[in-house]
Structure 1
């Protein structure tokens, strides 16, 4: 018995016709009939009732049909995984990156990966961590960079970066000359934050609330450089990771240590724990882990 025999039986039953099955499989009707006769001789059983005007399976035919679907599904999965042996020569992987992580940490990593695997296209989705988690969950993304916490029963991960947030103020601000600032001192300030779909928005909100106040948010943006420019224009203050602060123009803004409490900014690469992962995405995960371990 061969896979094509199972495919033929399924199509005959699905179309309720030998002729319909022949059309679906792009062969002639005599070919279908010959395939079934040869299989019946091989198994020494009859699969279809011959004297019926409609297609009707015998008990043996019903038994084969009952198992055929699962066998074909397993076969398709087998072929997919075998085809992945050449997947590193071509294919696409879909990675979600928050704006800050993408601009700060990944250009060099992506360049090195493309040099090693030039046939693999990397489709980048620049989103906030919240939407990235949703994309990995629903399968529209293969992996992504997010801020903990996340559901560790649902996602596998490894750490990428461990930093903390700094206070960003214009040079004219009353705290611009300070070495450090307590979070509680900012209760009357005007805040410029990332948009609500970004995990950092919620992290800052919760930190402020733990100190007994809700931040007065006057502007929101999805771009760290625009946030920096708004701070430079004295429209408010912000909090950004140390890496991003080093990219801002020191003549336009001041970055100050934020203490009591320290607000961590940790990044992790995550992917779905369950389900099939292509060889390409597995290689991306292994490659990225090695790059950040250096």
Structure 2
């Protein structure tokens, strides 16, 4: 028995006639009679009384009719919901965004996506890139933004930002007027760093160690704006991406290039390889690639 059997049975009860039900369904009368008979044989009960001028349901048929209506209604509702999902009228995407990337690259993209797909819910979770990668791997996030490099065996990805970190110092700092600064020149400086679930928490000290010294970290935070304010208060030095530095008040903070090769800040969106991808997620990836591509204005 399948959903078509139930619909045929319901039409026979509705018209109280096999012939009229067949005309309504655009099938032959023997076809619909055979289908209803197969239901009766499968269930071991008589569903229709065929002895009178009109076909009427038996007591078993009345019970069957009630359940058939519920099942057909649920099936039709499911079909409608699935159509909405396939046509991108419904859906939910859980997106992990680090504070710096979320603030500078995504408000416009998210706004345009929501205008185009108003019933797709975007659930935004702000966290450090390391935590985001862990949550994408575990499945608690569908997609997330991280600092490259990432694990190519676990994730598919597309990169959309390639920048370097800039050195932030107080305007009165001796290095504030330098054209560029080598990392070795910072070995005696107090560092203001991101907390340990951020990629830069590891990236900056690793670069310093490669340059021959262990940085003196005096404060850690999850907020780039708080870190920059600490620099403005002359409490230490920090390193932030070029994009963030463009929005700083240079009367209060000086941004200086690091001598090449510097410290890269390359961003990418990642999602789990071979994991199921909803229609909404596929469209978000396509949309974000288009909007974040160089020269797109996004």
Counterpart secondary structure, 2:106: helix
Which runs of structure 1 show a deviation greater than 6 angstroms over 4 or more consecutive aligned residues?
A: 34-37, 78-81
Counterpart secondary structure, 1:95: strand
Counterpart secondary structure, 1:113: helix
Shift of 1:169: 0.2
Residue in structure 2 matched with residue 118 of structure 1 by the alignment:
118
Q: Call closer, same or farther: CA 1:4–1:153 in 2, change over 3 Å.
A: farther
1:38 equivalenced with 2:41 (yes/no): yes
Matches within 5 A, 1:93-242: 93-242=93-242
Structure 2 Cα separation of the partners of residues 272 and 138 of structure 1: 9
Shift of 1:237: 0.1
Residue in structure 2 matched with residue 290 of structure 1 by the alignment:
290
1:85 equivalenced with 2:112 (yes/no): no
Q: TM-score, normalised by structure 2?
A: 0.72
Residue in structure 1 matched with residue 68 of structure 2 by the alignment:
none
Q: Which runs of 5+ in 2 are unaligned?
A: 6-36, 45-78
Q: Call closer, same or farther: CA 1:131–1:35 in 2, change over 3 Å.
A: farther
Residues 150-188 of structure 1 show CA distances to partners (whole Å, capped at 9, x for unaligned) of 111211111110000010000111111111000111011
Counterpart secondary structure, 1:157: strand
Residue in structure 1 matched with residue 270 of structure 2 by the alignment:
270
Query: Is the contact between residue 84 and residue 90 of structure 2 (CA under 8 Å) also seen in structure 1?
Result: no
Q: TM-score, normalised by structure 1?
A: 0.73
Structure 1 Cα separation of the partners of residues 41 and 160 of structure 2: 59
Query: Is the contact between residue 183 and residue 260 of structure 1 (CA under 8 Å) also seen in structure 2?
Result: no
Residue in structure 2 matched with residue 244 of structure 1 by the alignment:
244
Shift of 1:110: 0.6
Q: Which runs of 5+ in 1 are unaligned?
A: 6-33, 42-77
Shift of 1:83: 6.0
